[in-house]
Structure 1
Amino acid sequence: MSGIRDHPLRYNLANELHARPFPTLAAPSTAVFLALRTPANVVGQSRDAELAHLLDLLDRFGAPHPQPGATHFTCSIGRNTLKWEMHAEFVTFTVFTDRLSARPFDPADFEAFPEDWLGASPGKRITSALIRVDHMPAPQKALAELSSWFVPESIAMCYVLDRSCLVATDFRINAAGHQCMAVFVDKTTGSRRIGRVVQRLCEIETYKTMSMLGYFRVKAIAANLGALEAEAATLMGKLRSDDEDADSTLARLLDLSGDLEKLIADTSFRFGATEAYEAIVHQRITVLREERFEGRQTFGEFMSRRYDPAMRTVASTKARMMSLADRAGRAGQLLRTKVEVARSAQNQSLLESMDRRADLALRLQETVEGLSVVAISYYAVSLAGYLVYPLAGPLGVSKGVMTAAITLPVVLIVWWLVRRIKARMH
């Protein structure tokens, strides 16, 4: 085995599966979660700024630094534990404490992040959450507490992971600007399972929020897309009209196709990311293995009623754009064919006109040839006269008679020669 060579990425590929370990938590405890979105136009530049922002926080508590190029890091900062993760479009900070505030979801819990450090962030907050982890009370007491903490018409609560935990949230932002989530755990639930549940809740909230960016992108382009569809319908209606100029219609359709392709290019990344984030949200809910608690809606039911319609809107808008692009492409092909047929008809008419002109030119040429026979014959008779005039005296005829006698043979000879030359040329 010593002679075998490893692929240069072999260890990276294996370690990537273990790159983001779950936290370990015990009840009671609190998790303070923050997700900052990277500006889309300076992703490369913001990586360094985000890392510098993390190092600033670590230096405030004298904590060690992550390895160069790291995308996740966990360490202790004072009495708390910090977990940092860098993703493609956002970076997350989670602080875990082993205590509960006397007031449920106390805004003071967020003071785990220094205020001036938050103000110096290179990104913008996409979401933040306060997660309260406590021992599971009796069902009726749990229901009473959760009902007092969350908005009744929005609350989703359910058992997860074989009833080892009870989770609840209303997916609303409270007066302090945070989402609130509660996790009640059974006494037999291990710290790793608690950590996985809290991690899944943070991921559901983050990816749900990120995917909703696609929905608001749809709302922003709705008017523009509607105008393009209306213009496309007008142009396609002119395909069957003979009164419209096909060239100008084709030019307008090409302009519309260009605008549509630009719109597709501007939204392709966001729509693709929305599709990926939506899949992650549903996958994270699935792995929780929900069970109904006291007849209340589960996370999956909440998403099917409030979240899935928005995602279907994004998917349908993407399908509309692609369908419109296809229809514009087919209409463009039909218009090009129509233009080519019209040009072919014009070319046919031009060729017929050229044929008529060539026929006239040929007739004119034949007329000229007849005149040229006369002209050549005239000069040929004059030259021939000089040759035969000496014979006029001995023959007893006048020069006029001699000229008349040679005229017809000379004309015939000239005509024959012209015809022969013409035959050889053709």
Structure 2
Amino acid sequence: MAQTPLPDHPMRYALANELHARPFPVLKAPCRAMYLAIKKVENAAERDRSEDLAHLEALLDRYGASRPAPNADQYSGKLGRGFLKWEMHTEFVTYTLFATEPHSEPFSPDLFNLFPRDWLADAPGRIVTSCVVNVETVEPEDREDYMNRNFPGWFVPESLTASAVTEDTAVVVGDFQIDEHGHMRFAVLAHPDITDSRLGRIVQRVLEVETYKSMAMLTLPTARKVSGTVAHLDRELAENAAGMARESNEAAEVLRRLLTMTAEIEALSSATAFRFGAFEAYEAIVMHRISALRERRIGDHQLLSEFMMRRFDPAMRTCRSSKGRLAELSGRAERAANLLRTRVDVANQEQNVEILKAMDRRAALQLRLQETVEGLSVVAISYYAVNLAAGLLAPIGYKLGLDKTHVVALLTVPVVIAVWLGVRRLKHTLTDGEDGHG
């Protein structure tokens, strides 16, 4: 606990220890290293990591070695005649066996036999890469003779890389070819005065270059597949865009196709987002590890960085291109859909305007019809009212010397006016009632 009145943040010690969780090995030349990186084929980042830990424990139990701490993500300890270093990463786990005893055959895979065949078969994943690293002590003046004598039989000349690293304290050699035993080969020719910790860092960085190179290259098949799909969708988008430029009554159908295409593009983006994000991180680690070696050319051999520039970088450019094209296609499809959606909305609004105009015309016609009906109603009601009133007032007319015809004539105008005013009053009363109710 901190010597202050304030309590520690709950993650303080865990995060501080994380910086020291994966120390470099300490090696003394001559020695050998056998390396395995194992990854699940699909959804490796979401795997059940307890399976990886259980698989490690099964190996340790066979040799009677001590088990790691619960939920550990790294372990190191003696395993048979070798020393094991195990690490768990986001998508994969690595096993590195170090052995100090010499072997008459360089790059012999005998150290690999410490991994039982049935135990390997039960691994929760597949081998991404495996390497054999042969570390020898060679005087600087003997390097050229050593390389000329041994390298033609060990490595493929066409892809051979050899460079002096870390202030000329070692030479790192490899060809990135899989040998007859199924492993990559790397040689480290160490200066007699190199420190054990520096030698361990060099070997570790070489293994990390190979591992993260392999992990980054896993994106290349995905990039090629995405590139083909994007090309197909790009042509379809161009056809739909051309259809948008023409006056057409099929805008709604084109919009439906565009929305379907946009959904397909988004699904493809979601499915490849992790892989495209991971390759960039892995590529950055590869370049950083090579930079940390601080290479210097030896003779006419190509540098490790030159090999990566010629062989690795084009693959990464393909991945970046596919990722960029997919993002660009997604943006263009979204813009096209928005434009067409706007066009459909405008067309719908124009249709609504026409509908409103037609409704206005129908309302005006209904009003005129209503006024005509009102006039006819006034005439009809007035007719019956005049006849009724004339019948009632006829006796009075007789006394005044007026016949029925004169009585009707006198009653017609006031009755018509009265009926007309009554109809209008009734109409206003009904209209005001509807407005007040609304």
Alignment TM class, shorter chain as reference:
over 0.9
Structure 2 residue corresponding to 1:277, chosen from 279, 282, 285: 282
Counting matched residue pairs gives 426
Alignment of 1:43-192 (within 5 A): 46-137=48-139, 138-144=142-148, 145-192=150-197
Partner of 1:347: 352
For the Cα contact (< 8 Å) 1:133–1:182, is it kept in 2? Answer: yes
Partner of 2:26: 24
Q: 1:2, CA displacement in angstroms?
A: 4.5
Q: 1:42, CA displacement in angstroms?
A: 6.7
For the Cα contact (< 8 Å) 1:38–1:91, is it kept in 2? Answer: no
Alignment of 1:354-373 (within 5 A): 354-373=359-378
Q: Which amino acid aligns with 2:85?
A: K
Partner of 1:290: 295
Change (3 A) 1:206 1:42: closer
* Range 250-259 or range 103-112, more displaced: 103-112
Distance 2:303 2:44 in 1: 38
Question: Deviations 1:156-179 (Å, cap 9, x if unpaired)?
Answer: 110110110100101111111000
* Range 148-157 or range 415-424, more displaced: 415-424
Question: Deviations 1:107-150 (Å, cap 9, x if unpaired)?
Answer: 32322322232222221111000000001242321331234321
* Range 359-368 or range 388-397, more displaced: 388-397
For the Cα contact (< 8 Å) 1:212–1:310, is it kept in 2? Answer: yes
Distance 2:400 2:117 in 1: 141
The alignment partner of 2:66 has SS state of coil
The alignment partner of 2:10 has SS state of coil
Partner of 1:33: 35
Distance 2:229 2:99 in 1: 49
Structure 2 residue corresponding to 1:213, chosen from 215, 218, 224: 218
Q: Which amino acid aligns with 1:257?
A: T
| 1:391 matches 2:396 | yes
Question: Deviations 1:271-316 (Å, cap 9, x if unpaired)?
Answer: 1111111111111111111111112111111111100111111111
Partner of 1:223: 228
The answer for unaligned runs of 5 or more in structure 1 is none
Q: Which amino acid aligns with 2:134?
A: R
Q: Which amino acid aligns with 1:361?
A: Q
Structure 1 residue corresponding to 2:328, chosen from 311, 320, 323: 323
Q: 1:411, CA displacement in angstroms?
A: 1.7
Aligned CA-pair RMSD: 1.7
The alignment partner of 2:218 has SS state of helix
Distance 2:286 2:43 in 1: 25
Q: Which amino acid aligns with 1:111?
A: N
Q: Which amino acid aligns with 1:152?
A: P
Question: Deviations 1:231-285 (Å, cap 9, x if unpaired)?
Answer: 1111111111113511000000011111111111111111111111111111111
Normalised TM-score (structure 1): 0.96
Q: 1:44, CA displacement in angstroms?
A: 5.6
Q: Which amino acid aligns with 1:174?
A: D
Distance 1:420 1:122 in 2: 92
Distance 1:164 1:420 in 2: 113
The answer for unaligned runs of 5 or more in structure 2 is 433-438
Q: Which amino acid aligns with 1:200?
A: R
Change (3 A) 1:155 1:42: closer
Distance 1:9 1:103 in 2: 49
Q: Which amino acid aligns with 1:250?
A: L
The alignment partner of 1:172 has SS state of strand
Q: 1:367, CA displacement in angstroms?
A: 0.8
